[in-house]
Amino acid sequence: MGRRHHRPLIEPELFAQVQDVLARRHRGTRDQTWKHYLKGLMWCARCEGRRVFEPARSQDGRPHFYYRCINRQGGECDLPRFRLTVIEHAVEAHCATIAVTETERAEVRAALREALDAQLSTTKALRQRLRTEMTRLDSREDAYLELVGDLNWPKEKLTKKMREINLERQLDTVPSTN
């Protein structure tokens, strides 16, 4: 009587899954995609190989980053890898030496405005198209709803049509502003 049944606190499979996630996390940042504004913009001065962004983790698990020459891995290039902060400061210092003329400034500004306008009008056009599509679906729905009153209209067919309309509506998701 009262024999206790000792069940594990968590199921073995779940335990294994958790261990797996923890191990992966510990291994580093490989599964994660990091963004950095200098990615793909730097080349090695020694071998002209690409400089790649390299995430790493310190002993206490905090991420830190490097840029290294892609050819360093195979031992073909001996350029040391640089800490991100070192690279960023160097790039900033270099940028400070670049003089931008008023003409260049105006050109960049115009190009930016053009790119933004293009993006904006694409979004606008897309929304307009979706709105038209929604209106079309609405009026089709109205037409079918009117048929509900008609006793001769096959009900299954009508249900199927309505389902199709709703499906199409779900496919047309209006994007939010951006």
Which residue number, 51 or 65, has a Cβ lying nearer to Zn ion? 51
Q: How far is the CB of 25 from Zn ion (least distance, A)?
A: 31
Q: Which tokens sit at 87?
A: 């690279």
Burial of residue 33 (number of CB atoms within 10 Å: 0-12, 13-18, 19+): exposed
Nearest CA to 45 out of 68, 20, 13 is that of: 68
- Position 79 contacts Zn ion (CB under 5 A): yes
**Residue closer to Zn ion, measured from CB, 76 or 164:** 76
77 binds Zn ion (CB under 5 A): yes
| Residue 42 binds Zn ion, judged by CB under 5 A | no
The reply to whether 49 sits near Zn ion by the rule CB under 5 A is yes
Contact by Cβ (8 Å): 42, 67: yes
Tell me the C-alpha distance between 57 and 32, whole Å.
12
Answer for which of 54, 68, 69, 87 binds Zn ion (CB under 5 A) is 69
Q: Does 52 bind Zn ion (CB under 5 A)?
A: no
* Distance separating alpha carbons of residues 156 and 164, to the nearest angstrom: 12
144 neighbors 161 (Cβ within 8 angstroms):
yes
28 near 57, Cβ under 8 Å? yes
The interface region with Zn ion, picked from 25-33, 70-78, 127-135, 162-170 by CB under 5 A, is 70-78
Cα–Cα distance, 100 to 106 (Å, whole number): 10
- Is position 160 an interface residue for Zn ion (rule: CB under 5 A)? no
The single residue among 29, 42, 47, 162 that binds Zn ion, judged by CB under 5 A, is 47
Number of residues this chain uses to bind Zn ion (CB under 5 A): 8
Question: Toward Zn ion, which CB reaches closer, 69 or 87?
Answer: 69
Q: Which residues bind to Zn ion, rule: CB under 5 A?
A: 44, 46-47, 49, 69, 71, 77, 79
